[in-house]
Chain A
Amino acid sequence: MEIAVCLKRVPDTAEADVKVDATGKDIVRDKLASTINEADNYALEEALLAKEKHSANVTLVSVGSQPSEEVLRMGMAKGATAAARIDDAGLGGSDSIALAGVLAAWFKGKSFDLIVCGAIASDDGNSQVGPALAELLGLPHAAYVTKLDIQAGKVVVKRELEGGFLDVKELALPCVVTIQTGGNTPRYASIMGIKRAGAKAIEQAASVKPDSRTQLVRVYVPQVVSAAQMFEGTTDEKATKLATLLKEKGAV
Protein backbone atom coordinates (compact mmCIF):
# COMPACT_ATOMS: atom_id res chain seq x y z
CA MET A 1 0.00 0.00 0.00
CA GLU A 2 1.22 3.48 -0.87
CA ILE A 3 0.50 6.32 1.53
CA ALA A 4 1.37 9.99 1.05
CA VAL A 5 1.47 12.61 3.79
CA CYS A 6 1.31 16.35 3.09
CA LEU A 7 3.51 18.23 5.54
CA LYS A 8 3.68 21.97 6.04
CA ARG A 9 6.46 23.84 7.77
CA VAL A 10 4.96 26.67 9.80
CA PRO A 11 6.35 29.44 11.99
CA ASP A 12 5.88 28.76 15.67
CA THR A 13 3.87 31.79 16.76
CA ALA A 14 2.12 30.41 19.87
CA GLU A 15 4.22 32.50 22.21
CA ALA A 16 5.73 34.99 19.80
CA ASP A 17 4.85 38.60 19.18
CA VAL A 18 3.56 38.43 15.62
CA LYS A 19 4.39 41.50 13.51
CA VAL A 20 3.26 42.46 10.03
CA ASP A 21 6.06 43.02 7.48
CA ALA A 22 6.53 45.91 5.06
CA THR A 23 4.36 44.32 2.36
CA GLY A 24 1.40 44.34 4.74
CA LYS A 25 0.56 40.85 3.55
CA ASP A 26 2.84 38.67 5.58
CA ILE A 27 4.48 38.46 8.98
CA VAL A 28 8.07 39.15 9.98
CA ARG A 29 9.55 35.69 10.07
CA ASP A 30 13.27 36.07 10.65
CA LYS A 31 13.09 35.81 14.45
CA LEU A 32 10.56 32.99 14.51
CA ALA A 33 11.40 29.33 14.92
CA SER A 34 9.64 27.01 12.50
CA THR A 35 8.26 23.55 13.04
CA ILE A 36 6.07 20.95 11.47
CA ASN A 37 2.42 21.97 11.54
CA GLU A 38 0.78 20.49 14.65
CA ALA A 39 -1.98 18.55 12.89
CA ASP A 40 0.53 17.24 10.32
CA ASN A 41 2.48 15.63 13.12
CA TYR A 42 -0.63 13.60 13.95
CA ALA A 43 -1.22 12.92 10.24
CA LEU A 44 2.31 11.60 9.90
CA GLU A 45 1.88 9.39 12.96
CA GLU A 46 -1.32 7.93 11.51
CA ALA A 47 0.58 7.08 8.32
CA LEU A 48 3.48 5.55 10.24
CA LEU A 49 1.08 3.39 12.27
CA ALA A 50 -0.47 2.22 9.01
CA LYS A 51 2.99 1.53 7.62
CA GLU A 52 3.72 -0.81 10.52
CA LYS A 53 0.36 -2.52 10.40
CA HIS A 54 -0.07 -2.86 6.64
CA SER A 55 3.57 -2.77 5.52
CA ALA A 56 2.94 0.37 3.52
CA ASN A 57 5.35 2.85 2.00
CA VAL A 58 5.01 6.38 3.31
CA THR A 59 5.97 9.25 1.01
CA LEU A 60 6.11 12.78 2.36
CA VAL A 61 5.46 15.86 0.29
CA SER A 62 5.80 19.50 1.21
CA VAL A 63 5.35 22.67 -0.78
CA GLY A 64 7.84 25.20 0.48
CA SER A 65 11.25 26.75 0.24
CA GLN A 66 14.46 24.88 1.00
CA PRO A 67 14.07 24.89 4.83
CA SER A 68 10.91 22.79 4.42
CA GLU A 69 13.30 19.90 3.97
CA GLU A 70 13.79 20.00 7.75
CA VAL A 71 10.27 18.71 8.32
CA LEU A 72 10.67 16.16 5.54
CA ARG A 73 13.90 14.88 7.12
CA MET A 74 12.26 14.74 10.52
CA GLY A 75 9.45 12.69 8.98
CA MET A 76 11.93 10.33 7.36
CA ALA A 77 13.80 10.06 10.64
CA LYS A 78 10.57 8.84 12.19
CA GLY A 79 10.21 6.17 9.53
CA ALA A 80 8.79 7.60 6.30
CA THR A 81 10.11 5.90 3.16
CA ALA A 82 10.65 8.83 0.80
CA ALA A 83 10.11 12.58 0.51
CA ALA A 84 9.56 15.25 -2.09
CA ARG A 85 9.72 19.02 -1.90
CA ILE A 86 7.80 21.15 -4.36
CA ASP A 87 9.45 24.53 -4.49
CA ASP A 88 7.16 27.41 -3.62
CA ALA A 89 8.77 30.00 -5.89
CA GLY A 90 5.98 32.00 -7.49
CA LEU A 91 3.39 30.90 -4.95
CA GLY A 92 3.47 34.01 -2.75
CA GLY A 93 -0.04 35.29 -2.11
CA SER A 94 -1.81 32.28 -3.57
CA ASP A 95 -4.70 30.75 -1.67
CA SER A 96 -5.19 27.26 -0.25
CA ILE A 97 -7.15 25.96 -3.22
CA ALA A 98 -4.32 27.08 -5.49
CA LEU A 99 -1.93 25.26 -3.18
CA ALA A 100 -4.11 22.18 -3.41
CA GLY A 101 -3.79 22.56 -7.18
CA VAL A 102 0.00 22.57 -6.91
CA LEU A 103 -0.14 19.38 -4.85
CA ALA A 104 -2.69 17.84 -7.22
CA ALA A 105 -0.38 18.43 -10.19
CA TRP A 106 2.36 16.53 -8.35
CA PHE A 107 0.01 13.69 -7.41
CA LYS A 108 -1.35 13.28 -10.96
CA GLY A 109 0.03 10.15 -12.56
CA LYS A 110 1.18 8.73 -9.24
CA SER A 111 -0.93 6.10 -7.59
CA PHE A 112 -1.35 6.47 -3.88
CA ASP A 113 -3.96 4.45 -2.01
CA LEU A 114 -4.26 7.00 0.74
CA ILE A 115 -3.32 10.66 1.01
CA VAL A 116 -3.13 12.04 4.53
CA CYS A 117 -3.18 15.74 5.35
CA GLY A 118 -3.44 17.69 8.58
CA ALA A 119 -6.89 18.98 9.48
CA ILE A 120 -5.73 22.57 9.59
CA ALA A 121 -2.56 24.61 9.20
CA SER A 122 -1.78 26.59 12.34
CA ASP A 123 -0.68 29.64 10.37
CA ASP A 124 -3.50 30.23 7.89
CA GLY A 125 -6.11 28.18 9.74
CA ASN A 126 -7.84 27.36 6.47
CA SER A 127 -8.77 23.67 6.69
CA GLN A 128 -9.07 23.68 2.92
CA VAL A 129 -6.17 21.84 1.32
CA GLY A 130 -7.15 18.21 2.01
CA PRO A 131 -10.75 18.26 0.77
CA ALA A 132 -9.83 20.57 -2.14
CA LEU A 133 -6.98 18.26 -3.17
CA ALA A 134 -9.35 15.28 -3.05
CA GLU A 135 -11.83 17.00 -5.34
CA LEU A 136 -9.10 18.00 -7.78
CA LEU A 137 -7.95 14.38 -7.92
CA GLY A 138 -11.50 13.04 -8.14
CA LEU A 139 -11.14 11.16 -4.86
CA PRO A 140 -13.49 10.93 -1.88
CA HIS A 141 -12.35 12.51 1.38
CA ALA A 142 -13.09 12.86 5.06
CA ALA A 143 -12.05 15.90 7.10
CA TYR A 144 -11.29 16.17 10.84
CA VAL A 145 -10.57 12.48 11.30
CA THR A 146 -9.45 11.35 14.75
CA LYS A 147 -9.62 7.60 14.12
CA LEU A 148 -8.60 5.83 10.95
CA ASP A 149 -9.06 2.12 10.32
CA ILE A 150 -7.68 0.80 7.04
CA GLN A 151 -9.52 -2.25 5.70
CA ALA A 152 -9.55 -4.08 2.36
CA GLY A 153 -10.36 -1.50 -0.32
CA LYS A 154 -11.77 0.99 2.15
CA VAL A 155 -11.18 2.98 5.33
CA VAL A 156 -13.53 3.50 8.25
CA VAL A 157 -13.05 6.88 9.87
CA LYS A 158 -14.36 8.73 12.86
CA ARG A 159 -14.73 12.44 12.19
CA GLU A 160 -14.87 14.78 15.11
CA LEU A 161 -17.98 16.94 15.23
CA GLU A 162 -18.79 19.78 17.58
CA GLY A 163 -19.88 19.06 21.13
CA GLY A 164 -18.50 15.57 21.62
CA PHE A 165 -19.96 13.68 18.65
CA LEU A 166 -18.23 11.48 16.11
CA ASP A 167 -19.37 11.00 12.54
CA VAL A 168 -18.48 7.42 11.63
CA LYS A 169 -18.21 6.74 7.93
CA GLU A 170 -16.70 4.54 5.31
CA LEU A 171 -14.70 5.67 2.27
CA ALA A 172 -13.57 3.71 -0.73
CA LEU A 173 -9.81 3.68 -1.36
CA PRO A 174 -8.06 5.60 -2.83
CA CYS A 175 -9.09 8.59 -0.75
CA VAL A 176 -7.87 11.65 1.15
CA VAL A 177 -8.27 12.08 4.89
CA THR A 178 -7.38 15.07 7.04
CA ILE A 179 -6.25 14.23 10.55
CA GLN A 180 -7.28 16.25 13.59
CA THR A 181 -5.01 16.46 16.63
CA GLY A 182 -5.34 14.09 19.57
CA GLY A 183 -6.20 10.76 17.95
CA ASN A 184 -2.73 9.27 18.42
CA THR A 185 0.53 10.04 20.18
CA PRO A 186 3.11 11.33 17.71
CA ARG A 187 6.43 9.55 18.18
CA TYR A 188 9.85 11.11 18.52
CA ALA A 189 12.61 10.42 16.04
CA SER A 190 15.44 8.20 17.25
CA ILE A 191 19.07 9.33 16.97
CA MET A 192 19.63 6.45 14.55
CA GLY A 193 16.62 7.52 12.51
CA ILE A 194 17.89 11.09 12.33
CA LYS A 195 21.30 9.86 11.15
CA ARG A 196 19.77 7.67 8.46
CA ALA A 197 17.39 10.38 7.26
CA GLY A 198 20.25 12.83 6.86
CA ALA A 199 21.71 10.70 4.09
CA LYS A 200 18.47 10.20 2.16
CA ALA A 201 17.69 12.07 -1.04
CA ILE A 202 14.70 14.38 -1.29
CA GLU A 203 12.95 14.57 -4.65
CA GLN A 204 12.93 18.13 -5.95
CA ALA A 205 9.93 19.27 -7.94
CA ALA A 206 8.81 22.57 -9.41
CA SER A 207 5.40 24.07 -8.84
CA VAL A 208 2.82 24.53 -11.56
CA LYS A 209 1.50 28.05 -11.95
CA PRO A 210 -0.98 28.66 -9.12
CA ASP A 211 -4.57 29.57 -9.86
CA SER A 212 -6.05 31.63 -7.03
CA ARG A 213 -9.65 32.75 -7.12
CA THR A 214 -9.18 34.89 -4.03
CA GLN A 215 -6.64 37.62 -3.28
CA LEU A 216 -5.07 38.51 0.02
CA VAL A 217 -5.53 42.25 0.51
CA ARG A 218 -3.81 42.81 3.85
CA VAL A 219 -3.10 41.35 7.25
CA TYR A 220 -3.17 43.30 10.48
CA VAL A 221 -3.04 42.89 14.23
CA PRO A 222 -6.57 43.10 15.62
CA GLN A 223 -7.29 45.61 18.33
CA VAL A 224 -7.72 43.53 21.46
CA VAL A 225 -10.60 45.36 23.04
CA SER A 226 -10.18 44.24 26.59
CA ALA A 227 -12.55 45.30 29.28
CA ALA A 228 -10.59 43.19 31.72
CA GLN A 229 -9.42 44.76 34.93
CA MET A 230 -5.70 43.99 34.94
CA PHE A 231 -3.94 43.35 38.23
CA GLU A 232 -0.58 45.10 38.16
CA GLY A 233 2.52 45.04 40.35
CA THR A 234 4.93 42.36 41.47
CA THR A 235 3.92 38.71 41.30
CA ASP A 236 3.28 38.89 45.02
CA GLU A 237 1.02 41.93 44.68
CA LYS A 238 -0.88 40.45 41.77
CA ALA A 239 -1.39 37.18 43.63
CA THR A 240 -2.64 39.08 46.69
CA LYS A 241 -5.22 40.94 44.60
CA LEU A 242 -6.32 37.75 42.95
CA ALA A 243 -6.66 35.96 46.29
CA THR A 244 -8.87 38.78 47.54
CA LEU A 245 -11.01 38.54 44.41
CA LEU A 246 -11.32 34.78 44.81
CA LYS A 247 -12.47 35.33 48.36
CA GLU A 248 -15.10 37.83 47.18
CA LYS A 249 -16.28 35.29 44.63
CA GLY A 250 -16.65 32.65 47.30
CA ALA A 251 -13.79 30.44 46.17
CA VAL A 252 -11.89 30.86 49.45
Chain B
Amino acid sequence: MSSILVLVEHRQGAIRDVTFEMLTAARKLAAPAGGKVEAVLFGDGCDAMLPGLQSQADRVVYAAGPAFKDFNYESYQKALVKLVAERKPSAVLIANSAFGTDLGPSLAVALNAGLVSDAVAFTKADSGFSVSRGMYAGKLVADWSVGSEPAVIMVRQSNFKPEPASLSGEVVRWEAGDVVSGGKTKFLSLEEVPTTGIDITKATIVVGIGRGIKEAKNMPLVQEFAKEIGAVLAASRPVVDAGWLPKEVQVGSSGKTIKPKLYIALGISGAFQHIAGMKGADTIIAVNKDPKAPIFSVAHYGIVDDLHKVIPVLRTKIKELAS
Protein backbone atom coordinates (compact mmCIF):
# COMPACT_ATOMS: atom_id res chain seq x y z
CA MET B 1 0.00 0.00 0.00
CA SER B 2 1.18 3.50 -0.62
CA SER B 3 -0.39 6.24 1.43
CA ILE B 4 -3.81 7.01 2.80
CA LEU B 5 -4.87 10.60 2.43
CA VAL B 6 -7.23 11.89 5.10
CA LEU B 7 -9.00 15.12 4.28
CA VAL B 8 -9.08 17.35 7.34
CA GLU B 9 -12.56 18.69 7.90
CA HIS B 10 -12.71 21.95 9.78
CA ARG B 11 -15.24 24.66 10.34
CA GLN B 12 -14.92 28.10 11.89
CA GLY B 13 -11.31 27.58 12.86
CA ALA B 14 -11.78 24.23 14.56
CA ILE B 15 -10.98 20.75 13.30
CA ARG B 16 -14.12 18.61 13.44
CA ASP B 17 -14.00 15.42 15.52
CA VAL B 18 -14.54 13.20 12.51
CA THR B 19 -11.06 14.16 11.30
CA PHE B 20 -9.43 12.49 14.30
CA GLU B 21 -11.76 9.52 13.95
CA MET B 22 -10.61 9.13 10.34
CA LEU B 23 -6.94 9.58 11.23
CA THR B 24 -7.23 6.86 13.87
CA ALA B 25 -8.93 4.50 11.43
CA ALA B 26 -6.36 5.34 8.75
CA ARG B 27 -3.44 4.52 11.07
CA LYS B 28 -4.97 1.12 11.84
CA LEU B 29 -5.41 0.45 8.16
CA ALA B 30 -1.98 1.66 7.09
CA ALA B 31 0.24 0.26 9.86
CA PRO B 32 0.02 -3.47 9.05
CA ALA B 33 0.42 -2.82 5.32
CA GLY B 34 3.37 -0.48 5.75
CA GLY B 35 1.45 2.48 4.41
CA LYS B 36 1.72 6.09 5.51
CA VAL B 37 -1.05 8.34 6.74
CA GLU B 38 -1.12 11.81 5.28
CA ALA B 39 -3.44 14.45 6.67
CA VAL B 40 -4.51 16.92 3.98
CA LEU B 41 -5.32 20.37 5.26
CA PHE B 42 -6.83 22.95 2.93
CA GLY B 43 -7.47 26.28 4.58
CA ASP B 44 -6.68 29.93 4.87
CA GLY B 45 -4.65 30.82 7.94
CA CYS B 46 -5.02 27.40 9.55
CA ASP B 47 -1.42 27.10 10.79
CA ALA B 48 -2.64 26.69 14.36
CA MET B 49 -4.18 23.37 13.37
CA LEU B 50 -0.87 21.86 12.30
CA PRO B 51 0.53 20.59 15.63
CA GLY B 52 -2.68 18.72 16.43
CA LEU B 53 -2.43 16.97 13.08
CA GLN B 54 1.31 16.30 13.17
CA SER B 55 0.93 14.03 16.18
CA GLN B 56 -1.74 12.06 14.33
CA ALA B 57 -0.20 11.57 10.89
CA ASP B 58 3.07 10.65 9.18
CA ARG B 59 2.80 13.77 7.09
CA VAL B 60 0.63 16.83 6.90
CA VAL B 61 0.07 18.27 3.45
CA TYR B 62 -0.99 21.86 3.91
CA ALA B 63 -2.34 23.99 1.10
CA ALA B 64 -3.13 27.50 2.21
CA GLY B 65 -4.84 30.27 0.35
CA PRO B 66 -7.98 32.33 -0.06
CA ALA B 67 -9.53 29.66 -2.32
CA PHE B 68 -9.79 27.55 0.82
CA LYS B 69 -11.09 30.25 3.13
CA ASP B 70 -14.53 28.67 3.27
CA PHE B 71 -15.45 25.13 2.41
CA ASN B 72 -16.17 24.87 -1.28
CA TYR B 73 -16.33 21.48 -2.95
CA GLU B 74 -15.05 22.89 -6.24
CA SER B 75 -11.73 24.15 -4.88
CA TYR B 76 -11.31 21.08 -2.72
CA GLN B 77 -12.08 18.75 -5.59
CA LYS B 78 -9.72 20.35 -8.07
CA ALA B 79 -6.93 20.48 -5.52
CA LEU B 80 -7.47 16.86 -4.54
CA VAL B 81 -7.43 15.69 -8.15
CA LYS B 82 -4.04 17.36 -8.54
CA LEU B 83 -2.74 16.04 -5.23
CA VAL B 84 -3.88 12.47 -5.94
CA ALA B 85 -2.15 12.57 -9.33
CA GLU B 86 1.08 13.57 -7.59
CA ARG B 87 0.98 11.37 -4.51
CA LYS B 88 -0.83 8.30 -5.90
CA PRO B 89 -2.45 7.26 -2.62
CA SER B 90 -4.15 3.90 -2.11
CA ALA B 91 -7.17 5.55 -0.55
CA VAL B 92 -8.64 8.96 0.13
CA LEU B 93 -10.74 9.25 3.30
CA ILE B 94 -13.37 11.96 3.46
CA ALA B 95 -15.96 12.49 6.18
CA ASN B 96 -19.48 11.32 5.36
CA SER B 97 -20.62 14.75 6.49
CA ALA B 98 -22.49 17.56 4.81
CA PHE B 99 -19.17 18.90 3.50
CA GLY B 100 -17.96 15.44 2.51
CA THR B 101 -21.18 14.58 0.72
CA ASP B 102 -20.85 17.70 -1.39
CA LEU B 103 -17.34 16.63 -2.34
CA GLY B 104 -16.91 12.84 -2.29
CA PRO B 105 -19.14 11.65 -5.14
CA SER B 106 -18.04 14.26 -7.66
CA LEU B 107 -14.41 13.76 -6.63
CA ALA B 108 -14.75 10.01 -7.23
CA VAL B 109 -16.18 10.71 -10.69
CA ALA B 110 -13.39 13.17 -11.45
CA LEU B 111 -10.79 10.60 -10.35
CA ASN B 112 -12.63 7.75 -12.06
CA ALA B 113 -12.32 6.04 -8.68
CA GLY B 114 -14.52 3.61 -6.78
CA LEU B 115 -16.49 5.20 -3.97
CA VAL B 116 -18.12 3.80 -0.88
CA SER B 117 -20.01 6.25 1.30
CA ASP B 118 -21.07 5.95 4.92
CA ALA B 119 -18.29 3.44 5.64
CA VAL B 120 -18.26 1.92 9.12
CA ALA B 121 -15.36 -0.53 8.67
CA PHE B 122 -12.70 -1.10 6.06
CA THR B 123 -9.75 -3.40 5.50
CA LYS B 124 -7.09 -3.76 2.86
CA ALA B 125 -7.88 -6.52 0.38
CA ASP B 126 -5.41 -8.19 -1.98
CA SER B 127 -6.23 -5.56 -4.49
CA GLY B 128 -8.06 -2.51 -3.23
CA PHE B 129 -10.25 -2.42 -0.17
CA SER B 130 -13.16 -4.17 1.44
CA VAL B 131 -15.64 -1.71 2.96
CA SER B 132 -18.72 -2.26 5.15
CA ARG B 133 -21.58 0.17 5.30
CA GLY B 134 -25.15 0.31 6.56
CA MET B 135 -28.26 0.00 4.39
CA TYR B 136 -31.98 0.30 5.06
CA ALA B 137 -31.41 2.66 7.97
CA GLY B 138 -29.12 0.23 9.74
CA LYS B 139 -31.28 -2.86 9.33
CA LEU B 140 -28.64 -4.39 7.05
CA VAL B 141 -24.92 -4.20 6.55
CA ALA B 142 -23.46 -4.35 3.05
CA ASP B 143 -19.90 -5.35 2.23
CA TRP B 144 -18.47 -3.69 -0.86
CA SER B 145 -15.24 -4.31 -2.62
CA VAL B 146 -13.32 -1.50 -4.28
CA GLY B 147 -10.88 -3.25 -6.57
CA SER B 148 -9.03 -0.26 -7.93
CA GLU B 149 -6.86 2.37 -6.30
CA PRO B 150 -7.28 5.01 -5.16
CA ALA B 151 -10.48 4.12 -3.36
CA VAL B 152 -12.52 7.05 -2.15
CA ILE B 153 -14.04 6.16 1.22
CA MET B 154 -16.50 8.44 2.95
CA VAL B 155 -16.35 7.66 6.65
CA ARG B 156 -19.38 7.76 8.93
CA GLN B 157 -19.11 10.35 11.68
CA SER B 158 -18.95 9.31 15.36
CA ASN B 159 -18.28 5.74 14.31
CA PHE B 160 -14.56 5.25 14.92
CA LYS B 161 -13.21 6.14 18.33
CA PRO B 162 -10.48 8.77 18.05
CA GLU B 163 -7.28 7.69 19.76
CA PRO B 164 -4.27 9.75 20.78
CA ALA B 165 -1.00 9.25 18.89
CA SER B 166 2.49 10.60 19.21
CA LEU B 167 3.76 10.83 15.67
CA SER B 168 5.56 13.91 14.52
CA GLY B 169 4.57 14.14 10.90
CA GLU B 170 6.47 16.61 8.78
CA VAL B 171 4.50 19.50 7.38
CA VAL B 172 4.66 19.74 3.61
CA ARG B 173 3.48 23.07 2.28
CA TRP B 174 1.82 22.36 -1.01
CA GLU B 175 0.55 24.69 -3.70
CA ALA B 176 -2.74 23.86 -5.37
CA GLY B 177 -1.94 26.50 -7.99
CA ASP B 178 -4.47 28.05 -10.30
CA VAL B 179 -6.57 24.89 -10.62
CA VAL B 180 -8.70 26.20 -7.78
CA SER B 181 -9.80 29.42 -9.44
CA GLY B 182 -12.91 30.13 -11.47
CA GLY B 183 -15.65 27.96 -10.02
CA LYS B 184 -19.38 28.01 -10.72
CA THR B 185 -20.37 28.10 -7.06
CA LYS B 186 -19.80 30.80 -4.49
CA PHE B 187 -19.86 30.67 -0.72
CA LEU B 188 -22.07 33.40 0.74
CA SER B 189 -22.33 32.82 4.47
CA LEU B 190 -22.64 30.41 7.34
CA GLU B 191 -25.90 30.75 9.22
CA GLU B 192 -26.70 29.36 12.62
CA VAL B 193 -30.25 28.14 13.17
CA PRO B 194 -31.36 30.23 16.15
CA THR B 195 -32.64 28.68 19.35
CA THR B 196 -35.77 30.60 20.15
CA GLY B 197 -37.15 28.92 23.22
CA ILE B 198 -36.42 25.49 24.55
CA ASP B 199 -32.79 24.45 24.91
CA ILE B 200 -32.92 20.66 25.07
CA THR B 201 -29.18 20.48 25.78
CA LYS B 202 -29.85 21.84 29.29
CA ALA B 203 -32.62 19.41 30.24
CA THR B 204 -32.09 16.65 32.81
CA ILE B 205 -34.84 14.41 31.52
CA VAL B 206 -35.73 14.27 27.83
CA VAL B 207 -38.54 12.37 26.15
CA GLY B 208 -37.71 11.84 22.47
CA ILE B 209 -40.50 10.96 20.10
CA GLY B 210 -40.15 9.46 16.65
CA ARG B 211 -42.22 8.51 13.65
CA GLY B 212 -43.88 5.84 15.80
CA ILE B 213 -46.02 8.67 17.18
CA LYS B 214 -47.84 8.35 13.83
CA GLU B 215 -50.11 11.42 13.77
CA ALA B 216 -50.18 14.98 15.07
CA LYS B 217 -53.28 14.16 17.06
CA ASN B 218 -51.22 11.83 19.27
CA MET B 219 -48.98 14.67 20.38
CA PRO B 220 -50.95 15.67 23.51
CA LEU B 221 -50.44 12.18 24.96
CA VAL B 222 -46.65 12.49 24.94
CA GLN B 223 -46.72 16.18 25.78
CA GLU B 224 -48.65 15.46 28.96
CA PHE B 225 -46.50 12.46 29.78
CA ALA B 226 -43.33 14.58 29.44
CA LYS B 227 -44.80 17.27 31.66
CA GLU B 228 -45.76 14.76 34.35
CA ILE B 229 -42.22 13.43 34.67
CA GLY B 230 -40.58 16.85 34.46
CA ALA B 231 -39.10 16.16 31.04
CA VAL B 232 -38.56 18.27 27.97
CA LEU B 233 -40.02 16.92 24.74
CA ALA B 234 -37.56 16.34 21.89
CA ALA B 235 -37.82 14.42 18.62
CA SER B 236 -36.21 12.57 15.77
CA ARG B 237 -35.94 14.29 12.43
CA PRO B 238 -39.17 13.08 10.74
CA VAL B 239 -41.29 14.55 13.57
CA VAL B 240 -39.57 17.91 13.05
CA ASP B 241 -39.81 17.60 9.25
CA ALA B 242 -43.55 17.09 9.66
CA GLY B 243 -43.71 20.35 11.59
CA TRP B 244 -45.03 18.81 14.82
CA LEU B 245 -42.15 20.15 16.88
CA PRO B 246 -39.63 22.94 16.19
CA LYS B 247 -36.19 22.27 14.70
CA GLU B 248 -34.44 23.27 17.90
CA VAL B 249 -35.69 20.13 19.69
CA GLN B 250 -34.35 17.76 17.02
CA VAL B 251 -31.86 15.28 18.46
CA GLY B 252 -29.11 14.00 16.20
CA SER B 253 -26.31 14.82 13.82
CA SER B 254 -28.23 17.57 12.06
CA GLY B 255 -29.88 18.64 15.30
CA LYS B 256 -28.66 18.83 18.87
CA THR B 257 -26.32 16.62 20.83
CA ILE B 258 -27.68 16.07 24.32
CA LYS B 259 -26.38 14.36 27.45
CA PRO B 260 -29.32 14.28 29.85
CA LYS B 261 -29.51 12.06 32.93
CA LEU B 262 -32.43 10.24 31.36
CA TYR B 263 -33.51 9.88 27.72
CA ILE B 264 -36.74 8.09 26.89
CA ALA B 265 -37.04 7.21 23.20
CA LEU B 266 -40.61 6.52 22.09
CA GLY B 267 -41.15 5.10 18.60
CA ILE B 268 -37.64 5.96 17.42
CA SER B 269 -35.84 3.34 15.32
CA GLY B 270 -32.34 4.49 16.23
CA ALA B 271 -30.80 5.55 12.94
CA PHE B 272 -27.14 6.43 13.48
CA GLN B 273 -27.86 10.10 12.79
CA HIS B 274 -30.21 10.04 15.77
CA ILE B 275 -27.97 7.95 18.03
CA ALA B 276 -25.11 10.38 17.40
CA GLY B 277 -27.10 12.99 19.28
CA MET B 278 -28.23 11.04 22.36
CA LYS B 279 -25.87 8.16 23.03
CA GLY B 280 -24.19 10.22 25.77
CA ALA B 281 -27.27 10.14 28.00
CA ASP B 282 -26.64 8.50 31.40
CA THR B 283 -29.68 6.27 31.12
CA ILE B 284 -31.53 5.45 27.91
CA ILE B 285 -34.95 3.84 27.88
CA ALA B 286 -36.51 2.79 24.58
CA VAL B 287 -40.08 1.83 23.75
CA ASN B 288 -40.46 0.39 20.26
CA LYS B 289 -42.74 -2.26 18.85
CA ASP B 290 -39.93 -3.69 16.71
CA PRO B 291 -37.64 -5.95 18.79
CA LYS B 292 -34.93 -5.53 16.14
CA ALA B 293 -34.94 -1.73 16.21
CA PRO B 294 -31.32 -0.49 16.38
CA ILE B 295 -32.26 1.83 19.26
CA PHE B 296 -32.07 -1.22 21.56
CA SER B 297 -28.35 -1.49 20.85
CA VAL B 298 -27.73 1.73 22.79
CA ALA B 299 -30.61 1.52 25.28
CA HIS B 300 -30.08 0.48 28.89
CA TYR B 301 -33.72 -0.49 29.36
CA GLY B 302 -36.17 -1.54 26.71
CA ILE B 303 -39.81 -2.31 26.16
CA VAL B 304 -41.04 -3.98 22.99
CA ASP B 305 -44.62 -2.79 22.69
CA ASP B 306 -46.94 -0.24 21.15
CA LEU B 307 -46.16 3.12 22.69
CA HIS B 308 -49.78 4.21 22.30
CA LYS B 309 -50.72 1.40 24.68
CA VAL B 310 -47.77 1.68 27.04
CA ILE B 311 -47.86 5.42 27.71
CA PRO B 312 -51.46 5.67 28.99
CA VAL B 313 -50.92 2.73 31.36
CA LEU B 314 -47.56 4.14 32.40
CA ARG B 315 -49.14 7.49 33.26
CA THR B 316 -51.65 5.75 35.53
CA LYS B 317 -48.87 3.76 37.25
CA ILE B 318 -46.83 6.91 37.74
CA LYS B 319 -49.80 8.67 39.35
CA GLU B 320 -50.22 5.70 41.70
CA LEU B 321 -46.54 5.76 42.64
CA ALA B 322 -46.53 9.50 43.15
CA SER B 323 -49.47 9.53 45.53
Picked from B140, B145, B241, B304, the residue with its CB within 8 Å of the CB of A27 is: B140
With known contacts A160-B254, A249-B283, A18–B140 Cβ distance under 8 A? yes
Are A185 and B142 closer than 8 Å at their CB atoms?
no
Question: Which of B113, B187, B317, B318 is A213 in contact with, Cβ under 8 Å?
Answer: B113
Q: Does A229 contact B (CB under 8 A)?
A: yes
Once the chains bind, are B106 and A134 in contact (CB under 8 Å)?
yes
Query: Which residues of chain B are within 8 angstroms of A168 by Cβ–Cβ distance?
Result: 187-191
**Interface contact A252-B303, CB-CB below 8 Å:** no
Smallest distance from the beta carbon of B266 to chain A beta carbons, Å?
Answer: 11
Find the residue from B130, B190, B254, B300 having the highest chain A CB count within 10 A: B254
A251 in the interface, Cβ–Cβ < 8 Å? yes
Inter-subunit contact B130/A217 (CB<8 Å): yes
Smallest CB gap from A129: residue in B: B105
- B233 beta carbon closer than 8 Å to chain A: no
The residues of A that contact B133 with a CB separation of less than 8 Å are 125
In the complex, whether A191 has a CB less than 8 A from a CB of chain B is no
Closest partner residue, chain A, to B284 (CB atom) = A228
> Is there a chain A Cβ closer than 8 Å to B159's Cβ?
no
How far, in whole Å, are A144 and B73 apart by their CA atoms in the complex? 13
B140 touches A20 (CB 8 A): yes
Q: How many residues of B contact A (CB 8 A)?
A: 102
Give Cα A150 to B307, complex, Å. 43
Give Cα A46–Cα B202 distance, bound, in whole angstroms. Answer: 35
Q: How distant is B42 from chain A, measured CB to nearest CB, in Å? A: 16
Q: Nearest-CB distance from B154 to chain A (Å)?
A: 8
Cβ of A194 under 8 Å from chain B: no
A72-80, A84-92, A106-114, A219-227 - the one binding chain B = A219-227
Question: How far is it, in angstroms, between the C-alpha of A246 and the C-alpha of B125 when the chains are bound?
Answer: 49
Quick one: given A125-B135, A162-B253, A170-B185, are A97 and B285 in contact (CB under 8 Å)?
no
Residue of B nearest to A236 (CB): B313
Contact status A128-B142, CB under 8 Å: no
In the assembled complex, which residues on chain A have CB atoms less than 8 Å from the CB atom of B11?
A: 161, 165
Contact between chains at B318 and A246 (CB < 8 Å): yes
Which among A123, A132, A229, A240 is the interface contact of B105 at CB below 8 angstroms?
A132
A177 vs B24: C-alpha distance in the bound complex, in angstroms?
Answer: 33
Is B148 among interface residues, defined by CB-CB distance under 8 A? yes
Q: Produce 1/0 per residue, A213-252, CB < 8 A to B.
A: 1111111111011111111000110111011111101111
Partner of B97 from A128, A139, A158, A162 at Cβ < 8 Å:
A162
Q: Which of B102, B148, B247, B253 contacts A142 (CB 8 A)?
A: B102
Which 4 A-B residue pairings sit nearest by Cβ, starting from the closest?
A: A213-B114, A243-B317, A182-B241, A135-B106
